[in-house]
Structure 1
Amino acid sequence: MTDAPRSPESAGPEPERAPSLTPPSASELVGAALGDAARRAGLDPSAGGPTGHVVWRAMGGWRGILESVLPSLVFVILFTVTYDPETQRGDLWLSLGLSVGLAAVFTLIRLLTRSPAGAAIGGLVATAGAAALALLTGRGQDNFVFGFITNAAYGTAFLVSALIGWSLIGLAVGFLMNEGTRWRSDKRKRRVFFWLAIAWAGLFAFRLAVQLPLYFAGDVTALGTLKLIMGLPLFAPLVAVTWLAVRALYPAPAK
């Protein structure tokens, strides 16, 4: 006798479907990369925490501040002290040597203490590359060229992402909040992420607008001083504004 067909209720569980083999989109890849970078910097909105603590972590604490400031500060001080008005040159070898040496010491300390060394290694490579360019040309102001390139690249990326509707801030936050790109269908989020990206683009453009004239004028002391002033002192408040804006869009669940 032929078995009667089973009803859906009596049928066993359906076999599991094979996972989708669709490759991730470009926006998903960019969002994942930016989100991972933000998480490592302590800027995960889902983690919560006071704004001041978040900004402090983003700057890397005392160690991060020293690693960011001291090499440039040492270069500016030594170049200024050894500057000869007649030749209009400072001692580049001494100034750049100690600057790169400090960056190398910070990197070595991180490696020996098994601390995350990615940022320190990147800073060492950038510092050494900038020093090599300055020594090659014999001009102290060329020590800042790589910084100009970095500011121009970041500023352009933030500006373009905002103008085409794919804010880099939105991509990073969407990944961190497990939202993907769904934020683009929310007008409020799109507007906030647009202006945040514009603000970051404005920061990088402002640095270039102020510092480039000093570069072409060859004023190394003023250029180095303004680079320090326009570094963390401008970075920290914008991190705080970004954090507060994102937390307003994604309030923590009530306990």
Structure 2
Amino acid sequence: MTVSNGSEPRDTGGAVPDQRTSPPEDSLKPSAEAPSVSDLAAGYAEKAGLHRNSAGHVDMLKSAGGWQGIAESILPGLVFLVVFTVTRDLTPALVAALAAAAVFTVVRLIQRRPLTQALAGVVGVGISAWLANTTGKAEDFYVLGFFTNIAYIAAMVLSIVLKWPVAGLLFGFVRNEGLEWRKDPERLRAYKLGTWIVVAVLALRLVVQVPLYFMGEAGLTALATTRLLMGAPLYILGLWVAWLLTKPAPQPSKPSSSEA
């Protein structure tokens, strides 16, 4: 009697086992339909912060975060200005600004919405509050925005120099152009121009606000006001202008076979 040790083939009743391996049943089933270019474009644009409306254009308001996103970017700075103007005390103004930013995080938790924007706002307000509290100067609450603008300007100018303009990377996917626009010199020039528009918006903020910052507390109200007006509203305007200037030229319709 032979004892099997588990490594020997079992008795198959004389039949020779088929050594060929057949593909699993799942592999024989048709695969799910691959996502379309439109779906990929929409997903990429959304991750980049851009959203399309039903007409295929950029939804400017939604791209700015909607009304809630705009409020999240405006209210902490506004609360800081109001409280400091009333109390002339830096500490309660900073606490109030941080509290305003924290409220939006709680609201997003209740709404079960992504916390990325709200948390970024809390971190930004926290750093701004730390800077102002460290120096004891109320105007330093706004200084972080200067460095943020400079960083964005540098990145966008670099993208133009490298012929990967940011406007093309964003708008190209919204328009289902993918990266094909880089092969067309005219489209490349258009997206460079669109990127320069956004750079101009960011540079304009610095041109207007930096002199107000150096005025100290005397320029605080004007600095805070221009920060609000040149924040989301100016960003939406610049984005809209860049979108219009980079619009592809209409393609001539092909003659039908009956006209040929």
Match of residue 145, structure 2, among 138, 147, 150: 147
Give the number of the structure with larger relative contact order, counting CA–CA contacts within 8 Å between residues 6 or more apart. 1
Paired letter, 2:121 = G
Match of residue 55, structure 2, among 43, 49, 54: 49
Tell me how far 1:156 sits from its aligned partner.
1.4
- Percent sequence identity over aligned pairs: 40
Report if the CA contact (8 A) 2:194-2:243 is conserved. no
Tell me how far 1:44 sits from its aligned partner.
4.5
**What does residue 62 of structure 1 align with?**
67
TM-score (norm 1): 0.73
Structure 2 unaligned blocks of 5 or more: 1-40, 252-260
Match of residue 75, structure 1, among 75, 80, 83: 80
Tell me how far 1:103 sits from its aligned partner.
0.4
**What does residue 183 of structure 2 align with?**
185
Hey, which of these two has a bigger chunk of helix by percent?
A: 1
Q: What RMSD, in angstroms, separates the aligned Cα atoms of the two structures?
A: 2.6
Tell me how far 1:150 sits from its aligned partner.
0.6
TM-score (norm 2): 0.72
Change (3 A) 1:65 1:41: farther
Report if the CA contact (8 A) 1:41-1:58 is conserved. no
Change (3 A) 1:211 1:42: closer
Paired letter, 2:67 = W
| CA displacement, residues 42-94 of structure 1 (integer Å, 9 cap, x when unaligned) | 6355x64376x811211222211211111111111222223xxxxxxx31111
**What does residue 25 of structure 1 align with?**
none
Residues of 1 paired with 2:45 and 2:56: CA distance?
16
Larger Rg: 2
Tell me how far 1:136 sits from its aligned partner.
1.0
**What does residue 13 of structure 1 align with?**
none
**What does residue 202 of structure 2 align with?**
204
Tell me how far 1:135 sits from its aligned partner.
0.5
**What does residue 221 of structure 2 align with?**
221
| Pairs aligned (count) | 209
| CA displacement, residues 114-173 of structure 1 (integer Å, 9 cap, x when unaligned) | 112111110110001110111011111111121111100111111221233220121234
